[in-house]
Structure 1
Amino acid sequence: MTTISTINLTSPFFLAGVPGLEDVHGWIALPVSFMYFVALLGNLCVLFIIKFEQSLHQPMYFFLSMLLFVDSVQSNSTVPKMLFIFWFNNREISFEGCLVQMFFVHSFSIMSSSVLLAMAFDRYVAVCHPLRYVIILTTPLIMKIGVLVVIRGTILVFPYPFLVNRLPFCQSHTIEQTYCEHMAVAKLACADIRINNLYGLFIAVAMGGIDISLITASYTLIVRAVLRLPSREARYKAGNTCVSHVTVLLVAYIPALFSFLSQRFGGHMMVSTQIILSNLYLVFPPMLNPIIYGISTKEIQKNVRKFLYSKKLLNKKI
């Protein structure tokens, strides 16, 4: 065991990128780098506006800030290395670095789902109990929810690095991925990985099932409450407050679902297709979430225009 542990800690891994498409890695990097740039710019812009605009210091925007922060950390833990692979063929990653990246990718993925669940609860209270909204969603409660989001993601993914570290890697060290995904790394081991497989499946099904079930229950109650409203205008106004969140839910869960199904049951699917699908949820949500809320939320639009207008006036004075 000592010899195996030493091999694991000293031998680097190599990320294959997108096998079969090595000749077009440079072209693949162009849309990835564009989406990454838009994600960074959009997230920073919206977070900046929420932080410094007092009118946006409300529960809905606090949860949005959590989501954008989690998205930013997750994309920053994978996309820079991905671009180094595509542009410079820099595939090497240390064993320790691989475990760290694995932890960040999976833990912040769970945190993202947890924040989406919290946002569903926020919309439920806003639509079903509007008069008690401020009383229920107090700042201390929001802070506690934020702490629970971090604890949940950390505790559930904490076993991953240890489950991988115990495995002997005496054959190929080339990971057929652009990042250190748990099962992609575990499959390289020359040992029984049933525990890794079962625990990964448990996390995906249990956590995804719990979050999606609770979100569905929240929106079932929201739809019932909206349909009971007396006027069409009131129904439209109440329903419109949920449009952004529903869109973000679709953007987050659809790529994740395709990624999960392709990796677990896509035995006849091309490896390159599986990898591209598994990377969608790393680059799409961070890019689209600030755009979705920026387009559909009047308060954010108003403050973006105000910020740009103040910059324009400042440049004229200079």
Structure 2
Amino acid sequence: MNESFHVTLIFAAYKDMGSAKYVLFTVVFLIYLASLLVSISILLLIYLDISLHKPMFIFLFSLIANGLIGSTAVWPKVMVLLLTDVNTGSYKGCLIQIFLIGSYGVCNNAMLTVMAYDRFVSIFKPLQYHTIMTPQKVKQLSFVAYFVPATFLLGQVCLTTQISLCQYTIHKIFCDKLSIFSLSCGDSIISHVSNVYGIFLLIGFGVLPVFLVFLSYWKIVLVTMNASTNARKKAFETCTPHLIIFINFSVATFFSIIYNRISDYVPGGLNVFVSINYVLIPPLMHPVIYGWKNKEIQRSLSKIWRKAIFAVSESLPRVDKSSKVITYCR
């Protein structure tokens, strides 16, 4: 068994923050809390309203749940470190965090690709949509979008566990694979294999999804250019939220990858910005842009509010005017 499992890692980035860590704590706490409230609200809404049990909203449910997993894997621990002077963590906990953050990234890309396919079918084959996107197929696509990327990523983490550590100080606010590699005792066969494996993951679950999504949208644009005004408007309303989310997450992922490769040559403050833009902002944007802005979700929310108001009004005691007794004339 690798003896590194029993070591304690030091997160040196927190020591250089000074009083700024309380400002960062406030920002992280408010955004994370807002993300929790909005995400859980959308999840409950989709779960409780049968009219939202459609492929698009089932995929959205999975996307939002994945965002919660990714953000929760990072920010509660970060907030604890910001408020304490401990600034340490176990190596085992670091490996778990690497797996959860990595799964969040690759599964997010896979799910956004599945959602792009769903939009592609709805526009190109509207009459056969329900025949193609059956409940069974929706379950299969959701399962593949999570199980396949997470399984391959688990292989990456298993390779990481074989690395022997000679240093124990991480200069970031949370763990990632490259941070662990920087602590290794030097080049080894395992490190080279892991790098090749990581490139494979990047191509398969990073580059390929981007290519497939933009290919589908390019075909959608070509078709809608010759369609009627109403058809173009409907396609625009259907695809815009997904495209905004996909571009935002792809840009955040790209900068995160570039930053991780050159993190030793950039200011430490950039670490916080990149981390927030990758793991904190998207889980909040996804339910806001794709959820609250969706007309069907707005109608469902309005319906629930009306039911709640009606239930409250029905529970209030009613005054029977015929039973009133005027006592002032006695």
TM-score scaled by length of structure 1: 0.91
| Separation in 2, partners of 1:144, 1:184 | 35
1:176 to 2:171 alignment = yes
Distance change >3 Å, CA 16–CA 266, structure 1 → 2: closer
Per the alignment, residue 320 of structure 2 pairs with none
| Separation in 1, partners of 2:59, 2:33 | 23
1:279 to 2:283 alignment = no
In the TM superposition, what are the counterparts of 1:16-165 in structure 2 within 5 Å?
16-17=12-13, 20-165=16-161
1:194 CA drift (Å): 3.5
Per the alignment, residue 214 of structure 1 pairs with 212
1:42 CA drift (Å): 1.0
Out of 179, 185, 205, the residue aligned to residue 180 of structure 2 is 185
% of aligned pairs identical?
Answer: 25
1:215 CA drift (Å): 0.5
The two structures, once aligned, show a CA RMSD in angstroms of 1.9
| Separation in 1, partners of 2:180, 2:293 | 40
Q: Deviations over 1:53-76 (max 9, x none)?
A: 111111111110110111111111
Out of 298, 301, 313, the residue aligned to residue 301 of structure 1 is 298
Distance change >3 Å, CA 81–CA 266, structure 1 → 2: closer
Decide which structure has the larger Cα Rg and report it. 2
| Separation in 2, partners of 1:264, 1:30 | 29
Letter in 2 for 1:107: S
Unpaired runs of 5+ in structure 2?
317-330
Q: Secondary structure at the match of 2:185?
A: coil
Q: Deviations over 1:135-194 (max 9, x none)?
A: 1111101111111112222222112322222222123x1212222211111111112133
Unpaired runs of 5+ in structure 1?
none
Q: Secondary structure at the match of 1:212?
A: helix
Q: Which moved more, 1:18-27 or 1:40-49?
A: 18-27
Distance change >3 Å, CA 89–CA 131, structure 1 → 2: farther
Q: Deviations over 1:33-53 (max 9, x none)?
A: 111111111111111111111
Letter in 2 for 1:252: F
| Separation in 2, partners of 1:203, 1:75 | 21
1:17 CA drift (Å): 4.2
Q: Deviations over 1:268-306 (max 9, x none)?
A: 421331342133211111111111123421111112223
Q: Secondary structure at the match of 1:270?
A: coil
1:98 CA drift (Å): 1.2
How many corresponding residue pairs? 312
Q: Which moved more, 1:214-223 or 1:82-91?
A: 82-91
Q: Deviations over 1:242-284 (max 9, x none)?
A: 1110111122111111111112245542133134213321111
Distance change >3 Å, CA 279–CA 203, structure 1 → 2: farther
Kept in 2, the 8 Å contact 1:258–1:278? The answer is no
Distance change >3 Å, CA 297–CA 161, structure 1 → 2: same
1:18 CA drift (Å): 5.2
Kept in 2, the 8 Å contact 1:183–1:197? The answer is no
Distance change >3 Å, CA 86–CA 308, structure 1 → 2: farther
Out of 193, 196, 206, the residue aligned to residue 194 of structure 2 is 196
Q: Deviations over 1:174-230 (max 9, x none)?
A: 21222221111111111213333333233224421100000011111111121121x
Letter in 1 for 2:215: A
Letter in 2 for 1:203: L
| Separation in 2, partners of 1:19, 1:225 | 56
Q: Secondary structure at the match of 1:147?
A: helix
Kept in 2, the 8 Å contact 1:20–1:272? The answer is no
